[in-house]
Amino acid sequence: MKIFFLSYCFEERGKMFSTNTVGTITIGPEGLLFTGDKSGKLRVWSLAGTKV
């Protein structure tokens, strides 16, 4: 019996900060990220840099 493990390497592209716990992250069109926290606040983030 052979067991294989996949190893992924992720490169850090930035950091997101929030004062409340983020409950939802959704990827939108053209690299936009939408986050929602427990206070009901919605934030829209834009990724900078080269598209992969």
Number of domains in the chain: 1
Give domain status of residue 52, yes or no. yes
**What is the residue whose two structure tokens read 């939408």?**
34
Please check whether residue 34 is in contact with residue 20, taking contact to mean a CB–CB distance below 8 angstroms: no
3-state secondary structure of 21: coil
At 1-52, the pLDDT tens digits run 677 777 777 787 777 777 888 888 898 888 788 999 888 899 998 876 655 4
Give domain status of residue 1, yes or no. no
Give domain status of residue 2, yes or no. no
What pLDDT is recorded for position 35? 92
